[in-house]
Amino acid sequence: MSSIKPATVLFAGVAIAFAPWLMTSGNGRYFVAFILVVGPLCLGLVYLLPMTRGFRLTLAACLFAVQSFAVYESDPLKSWGMIPWREAPYFQIELPQDMATVPGTYITLSSITYSLMAPLFPEPSSWLNIASAPTDRDRTLEGRRTHAILSARGHLTLLVPSIPEYSTSEGLPDVNAIRSLNLLLADHRLAISDAAPCRLIRSGSIVSMPLVEARKKNDKRFDNAGFWACSLRYPVAVPAARPEIEKSRFDAVFDKLESICPRFFRPGEARTKVINGGELRQYSESDMKVYVLDDGAVLYKYLRTFSPQLIGTVDDVMSGKATVACDKIRGRSGLPWEREI
């Protein structure tokens, strides 16, 4: 009979899997299969300790208690971000009668999930997030699928979180908000309908967020926090000329970095977005962002780091004086305890 203990085999398997995981992504979501066995593995290793039976049972009980406390403190079933679940329904939203009873097709722009809201809508309703959807209709399979969905559906409704700072006294999007939303929609040949005004869908859950509650004291517009529902037109003509602010000045810089580190900055994945003080490309597949600022600074940021990492200036990046060490990405490279955040 083999003297190799099952716990030893399991430990070796997790250790072997750890290396390729770090070399490829280092993202915890792709290591879930092995994370699930860490608890049993710890108990198995405790069992192998050359200690008394009572000591091993006590140590196992301590491990179980610590893990139970961690699960209790971070229970995902009782929160959505920082929204408390105090009473039913779990997510409070004041849906108009037509939206609560008639199925619809809802277009979303933000990268957050709407999975908590979706069950509150009629069951046959459809949802399409275009935050990272391709803008072409013919060149890619995903582009053709997006176009087919938009074409096949009758009434399309844009559903986005309201922005009280850009709201009218009634809580509806003001002129600047409508313009900004249309700029985000234009590449997908979508536009907010002029015939039907947007509607405010007030959300008690959003209003109860600590961040919103703090701002309500000084700005009454936050009393109407929730979502905007706007009827959409599709297809519309893509504007021949964009406003000057929408013209990217730094595409060449982004393209240069994509050629240097295609693993983290995959070419063709991200679109340039104008932000306050510069431009941004967000690579959702690798959880990376690249910033090119008006002052010439070029930076990247991994999702789980606190601050961006300076690469260099625009001139230095384009000339090759400054580059990205693809094997030394801050927050991602090295063993977990070696990573800077």
Please give the Cα distance from 107 to 190 (Å, whole number). Answer: 10
Rg (CA), the chain: 25
Chain segment 231-276, per-residue pLDDT in tens:
999 888 766 555 544 456 889 999 999 999 998 998 888 888 888 7
**Sign, CA torsion 182/186/192/194:** positive
Provide the pLDDT for residue 80: 46
Question: Distance from CA of residue 3 to its chain's centroid?
Answer: 48
Query: What is the percent of the chain with per-residue pLDDT over 70, rounded to a whole number?
Result: 86
pTM score, two decimals? 0.56
- Between 33 and 79, whose confidence is greater? 33
For helices 6-24 and 38-48, give the axis angle rounded to 10 degrees: 140
Please give the Cα distance from 306 to 331 (Å, whole number). Answer: 9
**Residue type for position 71:** V
- What b/e string do you get for 172-204 counting C-beta neighbours within 10 Å, with b at 16 or more? bbeeebbeebbeebbbbbbbbbeeeebbbbbbb
Chain segment 72-100, per-residue pLDDT in tens:
877 655 544 567 677 778 888 899 999 99
**Residue type for position 312:** G
CB-based contacts of 329, cutoff 8 Å, min separation 6:
264, 288, 300, 302
Distances (CA, A) of 320 to 166, 264, 311: 42, 18, 11
